[in-house]
Structure 1
Amino acid sequence: MSYLCLSGGRVVDPTNEVDQVIDVWILDGKIVAEPDADQQSSAGVRRIDVSGQIVMAGAIDMHCHIAGSKVNAARMMMPHLNRRSIEQSREFDRQWFHSGHMGAVPSLFATGYKYTGLGYTTCFDAAISPLAARHAHHDFNVIPGVDTGFFTLVGNNQYVMQCAADGNQQGMQNFLAWLLSKVGSYAPKVVNPGGVELWKQKRTGNARDLDQTIDGFKTTPRKILQSIAQAANAIDLPHPVHIHTNNLGIPGNWETTLGTMQALTGLRAHLTHIQFHSYGGGDESESSLCSKVAPLAEVINANPNLSVDVGQVMFGPTMSMTGDGPLGYYLQQIGAEKWYSADTEIESGCGVSPIEYKNRNFVHSLQWAIGLEWYLSVKNPWQVVMSTDHPNGGSFMAYPQIIRLLMDRSFRADMLNKVNSKVLEFSGLKDMDREYSLSEIAIITRSGPAKLLGLNQKGHLGVGADADVVVYREDDDKEKMFSVPRFVLKDGKVVVEDFEIRNVVHGRTLSTIRDYDIDAQGEIEKWFSQQYSIATESYGVESGEFARLVQ
C-alpha cells in the first residue's frame, strides 16, 4: 500500500487548531505523519496537488432521516416528488453504481451518492424504533459512501416509564445498555416523553406540560427525561441522549424548551431541531407566533454541557417525518393532504405527511428566520450543529445554501427581503451582522458533531483519524464552493475526483458497545414475564408468539 499525499492545500482543522498550508498524508485509510524519505521510497507515493484549495475532514450529519420504514412510507406517499433520476456521468456505467431517484426523500443509493457529492462521509438517522432496527441496518448496508448509525427511540418505552416512576435508576441504566447493544444503536433518543404514549391511549392525547402525569404510569415527562439523561450520563455513552422535547411546533413552546433545558442542569445532553422548539405566542394561534431564540440561546451559552442542532427550514416541497405521533396528527389536521401513522406494537410513534414551505407564508418565513437566528446567537460554534432535520425542514441538499447564508450577510439580507415582511417585526434576524468563518463552518459541520458524538477518529485531520477528506475549490460564492467539492476521500480512497463521483466504497455502521458490568438480563426478563402474564390472561396471546415479541 502506497502513501497518498494531498499537497499544498490550506488545511482547516479546528479540532487540532490548524488553519494553514500543510500536506496531508494518508496510509491504509488513516491520516499519518509525514513519512521519512526511506519510507516514501519503499512504499511509493501518489501526490495530488491541491494548491490554493481548502482541505477539510469529511462532513458529518448527526441528525437526518434516511433509513427504515418511515422513509419508504414517505416515498410511496409523494411519488411525484421522486421522479427525477440522479444525474448520470460517464463513470456511472461501472457495475457498482446503481440508478436512483431524488426528490424530498431520495432512494437509498441516491442518498449515499448525493451525500458523498457534498463531502459528507458520516450520517446518523435520528429516530429508529427498537423493533425497526433490523430494517434500518438493512438500509444502511445498501446506502453507499458514508458511515452510518442511528439513535433508538426510548422516551415512551413502557419499561423506561416504569423505571422513571419507581426511581429505579439502576434498572434504567441496565436497560439502556442492554437495548443499545441488542439493536446495534449508537445513542438513546427521547421524543415527546410520555406524549406519544398518551396519543396511543386516545386520539387527542398528548403531554403538554413537563409535570403532567402520564396515565397508567405515575410518572411525568420531566421524570422520564431526567431519568434517561442521568442513566445515559452514568454509563458514559459517547453521545448521552438526543432530545426532541414536548410541544414541538406549537406557539408558546419555548417555555417547555426552557423547562427542559433547566431540567438537564449538570447533565450532558443534545436538544435537536431546536428551531421547531423556539416559538413564542399562545393559544396555538399562528398570529401570535414570534421568535424566542434570544432567551433560549442565553441558556445554551451559559451551559457548555448542552448542545443543539438547528433543523433549519428551507423553502420548497418536502416531507415531515417524525417519531412524535401526536405531532404528525396535528400537522395533518392543519392542512396536510395526506398522512401516515404507525404505532402498532412499537413503543414509539410515527407520523409522515407532505409539506411545502413558502417564502411568502408568515409562519414558514419565521421558521426560516428562527433557524438562522440560532446559528448566529450561539456564541460557541462547538455547541451548535448544522441540520435541516432532513427532510423535515428541507433536504440535506440545501446545506451549501445555509453555509452561504451564514458566511455572507449581504446574501442573507437579500434573502430576508424576499420573505414575508412580518418576519422583520417578529424575529431578530435583521439586526444580526455576524458572518461565519471557514473554521466555524468546519466546526458546525465536522469537528463539532464528531466531538458531540464522541467520534474521536472523525471530524479532524490529525494523525490517527479516519482518512475521510474533502477538498473544495475556493470561491467567493460559498454556496457554489460547498455544492461541488473537487475531491472526496473515504477511508483514504478517492471517490470524487475533479467534481465527479469516480468510485464507491461502502461505509461502516457505527454502534455503541461499552464494557458495562450489568446484570440486566434477569431484571428485564422478569418485567417481560410480568407483561406476558398480563397479555395471556387479558388477551389470550400464545406463549410462543409473545416470546418472539420480547426476544
Structure 2
Amino acid sequence: MQHAVHNLGVPHPAHVHCNNLGIAGNIDTAIATIEAAEGVPIHFAHIQFYGYGTEGEKGLSSGAPRLVEALNAHPNVTVDVGQVLFGQTVTISGDVLRQFDGRKAASPGKWALYQGEGNGTGVVPYKYKSKSFVNAVQWAIGLEIFLLAKNPWQVLFSTDHPNGALFTRYPEIFGLLLDKDERTRWLDKLPEAVREVTNLAEIDRELTLSEFAVMTRAGPAKLLGLTDRGHLGAGAVGDVAVYTEQSDKVAMFDRASLVFKDGKLVVRDGQITDITWGTAFHATPDYDSAIERRVDKFYGDNYGIHPEVFDVPEGIAGREGRFAKLPGTTS
C-alpha cells in the first residue's frame, strides 16, 4: 500500500494505525513499524496512543523520547499526535473490538456498537480524569512528543477529535505548548507518580509561534498536497486567522480577532460575521485503466455489486463547488 500510494503520486502517504493501540509497551510496535517503512513515506495517526513504555511500579511509562528519536532518524515519517485533555468526550472508532473492550470504562455508562458485514463502528463516551494515573500519563506523553520533536514539519497537531479531546478545547492545548508555566500549573495537580514515569517536568521548551504555525497550518497543508493554503504567499486562497498578542495564550487563541476564509471576513472579535462553506478535496492520480476490469470482477464475484456504488456524486451536497481535485493529481 505504501509503495502504491507513493508511486501513484498521491500527496498524503499511507495513513497507518499501528497494532496494540493503548497497550503498555506498544512503543516497541510503533518503532518496529517505523523501521519497516524502509524510507518510503508513511504517516502515523494519533501516535500518542502508541507511545507507551512499561517502566515504573504500575507498568506504564512515557515512550516519547524513544519515539521522537526514531522520528528524528526517519525523515520519511510524519505523525499527528492525538493529544488528550482532561474532561468529557466520546470515542468513536471503526475498530469495533477495541471499542467493545473499552465499553467497560464508558463514562457515562451508555455505549453503542454496530457490526455489519466486515465493518462497523463503536461509540463509547469517556471522561479523562486528572486524578487518573493512566490518563495523566497519556496527557504528558502527547505534550512530550510535541516538545521533543526537532522538526515541526514531522509532528502535526491533532487530538484525534473527538477521541482525545474535542476540537473546541484546542486553545487550552495551544497554551500548554506555548507556555511552560501553564504546563507546570497543570502538572502540579496530577498524581505524583506521573512525574516518575514521564519527562514533561524536565522539558523547558516553549514552541515558537512559527513552529506552532507549522504544526497546525503549514505542515498539514503540505502533507495533504494543498499548495494554495498553509502559507501567505502569492496564489494562496486567503485563509487567515489573526490573533491579538496576549500573555495568556489560552485566552489569545480562544478568541480570534479576525478570521478570513477564501479572503472573506467571517469572524471579528470572536463573533461570526458571515457563513462560509468548506471544500472536500480528493486526489485523482493517473493509473492503468486495465485495473478497472479486475476491480469490477472482484466486487461482482465477492459482493454482487458494482464499485460505482462507492462514488460520491457532485450533487450530494446540494450546492456547487463542494468538491475539488488536488492540484497536480488530475489525470
Letter paired with 2:8: I
Query: SS of the counterpart of 1:319?
Result: strand
Partner of 2:12: 239
Whole-angstrom distance in 2 between the partners of 1:353 and 1:335? 6
Does the 8 Å contact 1:528/1:550 carry over to 2? no
Partner of 2:317: none
Partner of 2:313: none
Letter paired with 2:134: V
Q: What are the Cα deviations for residues 187-215 of structure 1, in whole angstroms up to 9, with x where unaligned?
A: xxxxxxxxxxxxxxxxxxxxxxxxxxxxx
TM-score (norm 1): 0.54
Does the 8 Å contact 2:241/2:256 carry over to 1? yes
Partner of 1:391: 162
Query: SS of the counterpart of 1:465?
Result: coil
- Unpaired runs of 5+ residues, structure 1, are 1-227, 533-545
Whole-angstrom distance in 1 between the partners of 2:148 and 2:236? 31
Partner of 2:30: 257
TM-score (norm 2): 0.88
Q: Which of 233, 256, 267 in structure 2 is aligned with 1:485?
A: 256
Letter paired with 1:312: Q
Does the 8 Å contact 1:286/1:363 carry over to 2? no
Does the 8 Å contact 1:470/1:485 carry over to 2? yes
Partner of 1:267: 40
Query: SS of the counterpart of 1:350?
Result: strand
Q: Which of 318, 325, 329 in structure 1 is aligned with 2:100?
A: 329
Letter paired with 1:470: A
Whole-angstrom distance in 2 between the partners of 1:232 and 1:293? 28
Q: What are the Cα deviations for residues 23-77 of structure 1, in whole angstroms up to 9, with x where unaligned?
A: xxxxxxxxxxxxxxxxxxxxxxxxxxxxxxxxxxxxxxxxxxxxxxxxxxxxxxx
Whole-angstrom distance in 2 between the partners of 1:429 and 1:238? 34
Query: SS of the counterpart of 2:184?
Result: helix
Does the 8 Å contact 2:105/2:126 carry over to 1? no
Partner of 2:322: none
Q: Which of 73, 76, 91 in structure 2 is aligned with 1:320?
A: 91
Whole-angstrom distance in 1 between the partners of 2:204 and 2:285? 44
Letter paired with 1:484: R
> For the structure 1 residues 453 and 286, does the alpha-carbon distance in structure 2 shift closer, same or farther, using more than 3 Å as the test?
farther
Whole-angstrom distance in 1 between the partners of 2:308 and 2:259? 43
- Unpaired runs of 5+ residues, structure 2, are 310-331
Bigger Cα Rg: 1
Query: SS of the counterpart of 1:399?
Result: helix
Q: Which of 342, 345, 349 in structure 1 is aligned with 2:114?
A: 342
**347-356 or 309-318, which deviates more:** 347-356
> For the structure 1 residues 350 and 419, does the alpha-carbon distance in structure 2 shift closer, same or farther, using more than 3 Å as the test?
same
Query: SS of the counterpart of 1:390?
Result: coil
Partner of 2:278: 507
Deviation at 1:508, TM superposition (A): 1.4
Letter paired with 1:354: P
Letter paired with 1:342: Y
> For the structure 1 residues 268 and 384, does the alpha-carbon distance in structure 2 shift closer, same or farther, using more than 3 Å as the test?
same
**505-514 or 436-445, which deviates more:** 505-514
RMSD: 1.9
Equivalent residues in 2 for 1:169-208 (5 A)?
none
Query: SS of the counterpart of 2:139?
Result: helix
Deviation at 1:550, TM superposition (A): 7.5
Partner of 1:281: 54
Count of aligned positions? 308
2:235 counterpart of 1:461: no
Whole-angstrom distance in 2 between the partners of 1:435 and 1:498? 26
Does the 8 Å contact 1:319/1:354 carry over to 2? yes
Query: SS of the counterpart of 2:79?
Result: strand
Whole-angstrom distance in 1 between the partners of 2:236 and 2:119? 36
Deviation at 1:333, TM superposition (A): 3.4
Letter paired with 1:343: Q
Letter paired with 2:294: E
> For the structure 1 residues 484 and 422, does the alpha-carbon distance in structure 2 shift closer, same or farther, using more than 3 Å as the test?
same
> For the structure 1 residues 445 and 286, does the alpha-carbon distance in structure 2 shift closer, same or farther, using more than 3 Å as the test?
farther
Does the 8 Å contact 1:328/1:339 carry over to 2? no
Whole-angstrom distance in 2 between the partners of 1:343 and 1:231? 29
Partner of 1:368: 139
User: Relative contact order: is structure 1 or structure 2 higher (C-alpha 8 Å, sep ≥ 6)?
Assistant: 1
Partner of 1:356: 127
Equivalent residues in 2 for 1:285-296 (5 A)?
287-296=58-67
Letter paired with 1:469: V
Does the 8 Å contact 2:228/2:237 carry over to 1? yes
Q: What are the Cα deviations for residues 305-331 of structure 1, in whole angstroms up to 9, with x where unaligned?
A: 101111111000110111212211121
Letter paired with 2:28: E
Does the 8 Å contact 2:299/2:307 carry over to 1? no
Does the 8 Å contact 1:378/1:384 carry over to 2? yes
